Amino acid sequence: MKQLISQINQILSETQDKTSVLIHILNQDTPVFEKDSDLQMVSASTIKVPIMCCALEEVHQGNMKLDQMIQVEKEDILSDTEVFEHGPDQYSLEELISWMIISSDNTATNVLIRVLTMDKINDYIKNELHLNKTKVERIMLDFEAVKSGKNNYTSHQDQMSIYVKLFNHEILNDELCDKAMDILYNQRAKDLIMRYIPYRTPFAHKTGGLDYLVHDCGIMTLGDISFYFGVSAWDCQDIDGNRALAGKIGRLVYNYYTK
**Model confidence pLDDT, tens digit, residues 79-120:** 999 999 999 999 999 999 999 999 999 999 999 999 999 999
pLDDT (tens digit per residue) in 34-73: 999 999 999 999 999 999 999 999 999 999 999 999 999 9
Mean pLDDT across 237-247: 96
pLDDT (tens digit per residue) in 174-200: 999 999 999 999 999 999 999 999 999
Give the rounded percent of residues in the chain with a pLDDT score beyond 70: 100
Amino acid 259: pLDDT: 84
CATH number, domain containing residue 161: 3.40.710.10
What is the DSSP secondary-structure string of the chain? -HHHHHHHHHHHHT--SEEEEEEEETT-SS-SEEESTT--EE-GGGGHHHHHHHHHHHHHTTS--TT-EEEE-GGG--TT-SSSTT--EEEEHHHHHHHHHHS--HHHHHHHHHHH-HHHHHHHHHHTS--SS-B--S-TT-HHHHHTT---EE-HHHHHHHHHHHHTT-SS-HHHHHHHHHHHHT----SSTTTT--S---EEEEEEEETTEEEEEEEEEETTEEEEEEEEEES-SSTT--HHHHHHHHHHHHHHHT-
Amino acid 237: pLDDT: 95
Give the rounded percent of residues in the chain with a pLDDT score beyond 90: 99
Considering its fold, how many domains does the chain have in total?
1
Q: For 198-207, give one letter per residue: b (16+ CB within 10 A) or e.
A: eeeeebbbbb
Phi, psi angles (nearest 5°) of residue 193: -60, -35
Amino acid 238: pLDDT: 95
Amino acid 244: pLDDT: 97
Do residues 214 and 160 lie in contact, with contact meaning Cβ atoms separated by under 8 Å? no
pLDDT (tens digit per residue) in 195-209: 999 999 999 999 999
pLDDT (tens digit per residue) in 224-239: 999 999 999 999 999 9
Do residues 255 and 199 lie in contact, with contact meaning Cβ atoms separated by under 8 Å? no
Q: Pick from 127, 91, 129, 131: which is nearest to 112 by CA?
A: 91
Say how many C-beta atoms besides its own lie within 10 A of residue 78's C-beta. Answer: 17
d(CA 144, CA 184): 30
pTM for the whole structure: 0.96
**Cα Rg, the chain, nearest whole Å:** 18
pLDDT (tens digit per residue) in 130-184: 999 999 999 999 999 999 999 999 999 999 999 999 999 999 999 999 999 999 9
Letter for the amino acid at 62?
G
Say how many C-beta atoms besides its own lie within 10 A of residue 58's C-beta. Answer: 17
Q: Report the residue count for the chain.
A: 259
Amino acid 138: pLDDT: 98
Amino acid 222: pLDDT: 96
The domain of 193 spans 2-257
